[in-house]
Amino acid sequence: MLSAADNAEHATLAAANQAALQTAAAAVMPATAIGARLSRPLLLVSDLDDTLLPCKLPQLPQHEQAAAAFRDVWNRSRALGLSCKFVINTGRTLPLFEEAWAGQGARLMPQPDAVVTGVGTRIHHNTAQGWQEDVTWRARMDEGWNSAAAKAAMDAVVQHFGGTSVVYRDAAEMHEHKLTVLYKSELQQALLPLLRQQLQQAGLRATVIEGNSAGPWRFIDLLPQHAGKGTAMQHVMQHYGFDAASTVAAGDSANDLLMLQQARTSIIVGNSAPEVKSWAAGAQQAHQQLHHLHPNPQQQQQPYCDSPHVYVAKASVAAGVLEGMQALGFLQQ
């Protein structure tokens, strides 16, 4: 077990390493303006709202400029024939994603090679004929899933707490593999155990994803057992043939955590939710402890990545993603 002194040393090393990386990334915006491109193969799997484009954040000119710079880096790299894939991993259902994309997304973002929607319940690949659903992934969602039983379990929770305290989201936000409710935050300690009890009684294995904790209301998604942004990212990696060292996840909110945790390298944008930043701080400390115990990569059982497992950007949204890409060595002039 590491001593308090060792933990303090590791925290200091983590802070110093993070500061050095942020210093190295400080010039990312000027670099993108004069022709930066990817320096090595990259599969970027990123959330959309408030990670690449502002949603709850104010629509500021610098956010639009950063999004355009991100687009230019990606399009320039594609034109050079570099090995790269860009995948959006969003909580939105496909219709709501297309609605958002029709606005500033299509104008400011590079075309994604694939889009993961519904908190990892659907995957669509971008083809000449439009979005083509990944039928293998769709079949996996059906494994062990009973949409009627899931709805009955959630209905029991709504009835128990009352329809003014637990509220289903609009139909456009849900489908047969995704149920979403809003509930009053003070109910969290009682609601989640009751939902899990209802699922157990129904013999239903499911994934429960919690949303951000800010404000008087929270939301939860009830999904099939294999669903989630993390498992969907793993499927996309296999589909496109990228290994963990060439894959980076980027996110800002609580429903991104499974994706961020399952990626070897991830970027946390500066406007991330408190619970995401809290997890990132712990992950960085753990990485420093691993490096301290095994300074030689060959001594580790798992492949070692010289860059931090988690990079916490100072900049927000797309500028933060670019900052992370620069700091982690994925950009060059």
Q: Domain locations in the chain?
A: 4-140+227-292+303-332, 147-224
Q: How confident is the model at residue 83 (pLDDT cuts 50, 70, 90)?
A: very high
Quick one: pLDDT at residue 290?
56
Least confident of 170-174, 299-303, 323-327: 299-303
Mean local confidence (pLDDT), 275-298: 69
Q: List pLDDT tens digits, range 33-53.
A: 458 999 999 999 999 999 999
Quick one: pLDDT at residue 77?
96
Q: List pLDDT tens digits, range 235-268.
A: 999 999 999 999 999 999 999 999 999 999 999 9
Q: List pLDDT tens digits, range 192-207.
A: 999 999 999 999 999 9
Strands, E assignment, 144-273: 166-168, 179-184, 206-210, 217-224, 247-251, 265-268
In the CATH scheme, what architecture does the domain 4-140+227-292+303-332 have? 3-Layer(aba) Sandwich (3.40)
CATH number of 147-224: 3.90.1070.10
Buried b (16+ CB within 10 A) or exposed e, 229-242: bbbbbbbbbebbeb
Quick one: pLDDT at residue 27?
44
CB 150 within 8 A of CB 206: yes
Residue 173 CA: distances (Å) to CA of 77, 124, 179, 237, 260 = 34, 17, 8, 26, 23
Query: For a pLDDT cut of 70, what percent of the chain falls above it?
Result: 83
Residue 299 has pLDDT above 80, yes or no: no
Strands, E assignment, the chain: 37-38, 42-46, 84-89, 114-117, 122-127, 130-133, 166-168, 179-184, 206-210, 217-224, 247-251, 265-268, 310-312, 331-332
Quick one: pLDDT at residue 135?
97
Residue 318 has pLDDT above 90, yes or no: yes
Residue 66 has pLDDT above 70, yes or no: yes
Q: E strand or H helix at 9, and its extent?
A: helix 4-25
Residue 10 has pLDDT above 70, yes or no: no
Q: Specify the 3-state DSSP secondary structure of 240.
A: helix
Q: Specify the 3-state DSSP secondary structure of 170.
A: coil
Quick one: pLDDT at residue 201?
96
Q: Give the residues across from 6 on adjacent strands.
A: none
Q: What is the DSSP string of 315-331?
A: S-HHHHHHHHHHHTT-E
Residue 165 CA: distances (Å) to CA of 175, 181, 183, 208 = 22, 10, 6, 18
Quick one: pLDDT at residue 218?
93
Quick one: pLDDT at residue 288?
63
Least confident of 184-198, 221-235, 280-294: 280-294
Residue 22 has pLDDT above 60, yes or no: no
